[in-house]
Amino acid sequence: MKSKFQHVALVGKYQTNSASASGANSRAAVVAVAHFLDDLGCDVAMEHDTALNMGMSDYPALGIAQIGKQCDLALVVGGDGTMLGIGRQMAPYGVPLIGINQGRLGFITDVPYGSFAASLAQMLGGAYVEDHRSLINARVWRDGDCVYRATAMNDVVVNRGASSGMVELRVEVDGHFVSNQRADGLIIATPTGSTAYALSAGGPLLHPSIPGWVMVPIAPHTLSNRPIVLANSSKIAIEVVSGRDASASFDTQSLAALMHGDRIEVTRSKHHVRFLHPQGWSYYDTLREKLHWNERVVAT
């Protein structure tokens, strides 16, 4: 069967060195997928850092911009963390992504590695479900200057420092004062991120098709401070009022040390991430499987 996607880029756990045991397993998985694509007649390329860290020279190595301009599809072999990193970078180019799960949970890398051949054969032939995920743009402003900017697919989190004590945050939405939050921190999460840190902090699950974000306080001082769903067309501003050593993180990968008076402004990105899932994929099936819903508890 001929693939609908001729030029395919492979992305592995590019932070992992192939000399380690986990790195060797990751390399073997990427090689297996590459050989499968070869057999389908695809032109295979490796993401640059994947090729470098895994010591792979059998295929052309391409940077992100080259993949975005030259490739029809990117296959990510790893876990959700790998997909988050590459998804943010590929979004401006509109290249669709398929995730082959070699991690643990796999909310967005949903093709099991053990059965990837059967799933990919169908998907590359055109039998797939397309799913778009929104992104967050965030900027940190200090004394009128933008001192940090980042993009997130999961969430933006403002946290108190390692020392004891809460952080106090002033929250505005579209210029309207909402509340002063005294808590361990505050999460602004996309629907994709609603199954991550926001869920652990007591936030609701948002279906990916909902054009909204969830704002979730972390261990709030006042228990009436509850999670709230906001339109993702809004501009959210979070000002650090008090608290020591506060920081902001963006998908847990970028950090910015914050000072009193700093403002974190959150807006919707004009880009989105394109995911392809196996035919028959359902968001609810994913939740049921990953969150172990409806499993019978056997008394011992």
Return the higher-pLDDT residue of 21 and 64: 64
Question: What pLDDT does 207 receive?
Answer: 96
Distances in Å between the alpha carbon of 47 and those of 108, 238, 269?
Answer: 19, 36, 24
* Three-state SS at 14: coil
User: Exactly one of 80, 110, 131, 251 is catalytic; which is it?
Assistant: 80
Mean per-residue pLDDT over the chain, rounded: 92
CATH architecture classification, 7-126: 3-Layer(aba) Sandwich (3.40)
Question: How far apart are alpha carbons 231 and 118 in whole angstroms?
Answer: 39
Task: Give me the count of residues in the chain.
Answer: 300
Q: Where are the domains of the chain?
A: 7-126, 135-269
Question: What pLDDT does 21 receive?
Answer: 52
Question: What pLDDT does 38 receive?
Answer: 95
Q: Which DSSP string corresponds to 166-225?
A: -EEEEEEETTEEEEEEEESEEEEE-TGGGGTHHHHTTPPP--TTS-EEEEEEES-SSTT-
Q: Lowest-confidence range among 105-109, 196-200, 218-222?
A: 105-109
Q: Which of 220, 161, 228, 159 is nearest to 189 (CA)?
A: 228
pLDDT of residue 300 exceeding 60, the answer is: no
pTM over 0.85: yes
What's the whole-number mean pLDDT along residues 271-290? Answer: 94
Question: What pLDDT does 26 receive?
Answer: 87
Contacts of residue 11, Cβ cutoff 8 Å, sequence gap at least 6? 47, 50, 74, 75, 76, 77, 78, 82, 86
Confidence bin at 224 (pLDDT 50/70/90)? confident
Confidence bin at 17 (pLDDT 50/70/90)? low
Q: Which of 159, 124, 153 is nearest to 279 (CA)?
A: 124
For residue range 70-99, what is the model confidence (pLDDT) as tens digits?
999 999 999 999 999 999 999 999 999 999
Question: What pLDDT does 262 receive?
Answer: 97
Superfamily of domain 135-269: Probable inorganic polyphosphate/atp-NAD kinase; domain 2 (2.60.200.30)
pLDDT of residue 252 exceeding 90, the answer is: no
Q: Which of 15, 19, 208 is nearest to 108 (CA)?
A: 208
114 phi/psi in degrees, rounded to 5: -60, -20
Whether residue 110 lies in the annotated active site: no
Confidence bin at 23 (pLDDT 50/70/90)? low
Which of 219-236 are b and which e, b meaning 16 or more Cβ less than 10 Å from the residue's Cβ?
A: ebeeeebebbbbebebeb
Question: What pLDDT does 37 receive?
Answer: 96
pLDDT of residue 296 exceeding 80, the answer is: no
Half-sphere exposure of 249 (CA within 13 A, CB side): 12
Confidence bin at 13 (pLDDT 50/70/90)? confident
Q: Which of 84, 131, 80 is nearest to 110 (CA)?
A: 80
Confidence bin at 298 (pLDDT 50/70/90)? low
